Amino acid sequence: MTKAMTKYQLDHFRDKVKRQFNPLIQDQELLVKQFTTEATDKAVDKLSKKIGADTIIKKFREAETMLEEARATALTFFEKKKPKDQELNYAFDSKKFREAETMLEEARATALTFFEKKKPKDQELDYKFREPNSRYSDKISLSDCEDQLREWAAALAVKEIEKRPEGAKLKQLRDLKEKALDTVMEAGTPDSLAIALDQVSKKIGLNWDQDLKALPSVN
């Protein structure tokens, strides 16, 4: 009867798989990183137009700009007109300021509804967008909308990068590592497992049992 491997043997095989694959994966990730920003930027632009987010973000940007301009104008005005014996009250009332705040609130509400409806099935919503009436949703900014869109676009960027030779190699390394780990968990005996893992290791130009080189003589 074949004796099952112990937990310590399984841990050893898993650790060795990681020692073989992780350095190669990390090196390839650094190589691919240079393409990530460009690919994500293109994916953001493509996704934004596809789902109509460009219109939402444009209105949000206009609202934030209008509010900033109204705030700057009001602060300058009240600073200049302040009587010498009075303090400046920042809780001022301004028609333009109120209009800008209303416009921003409408843009915020539109963005909340939009991102909830357009969320891809395999993606998550940032916590600020999950609860429309929470204290977080009241502070949603243009930056939050852009970050949410960029997060969704990142998945598309990964697919684009995988079409490049560098990205394809990274995916292959990750897939082979996963296969090796699966092999460990599904194996029967240490000997049969070593044979199976040697076949996987050869796909990345290594042998499962690497011979150590002798140290040079110090004489």
Q: What is the DSSP string of the chain?
A: -PPPPPHHHHHHHHHHHHHHHHHHHHHHHHHHHHHHHHHHHHHHHHHHHHHTHHHHHHHHHHHHHHHHHHHHHHHHHHHHH--TTSPPPS----HHHHHHHHHHHHHHHHHHHHHHHH--TT----HHHH-TTSTTGGG--HHHHHHHHHHHHHHHHHHHHTTSHHHHHHHHHHHHHHHHHHHHHH--SHHHHHHHHHHHHHTTT--SSPPPPPPPP--
Low-confidence ranges of the chain (pLDDT < 70): 1-3, 78-95, 127, 130-138, 210-219
Express each pLDDT in 177-210 by its tens digit.
998 888 888 777 777 777 787 787 788 777 777 6
- Its pTM stands at 0.56
Residue ranges covered by each domain of the chain: 7-202
What is residue 217's predicted lDDT score, i.e. its pLDDT?
46
What is residue 205's predicted lDDT score, i.e. its pLDDT?
77
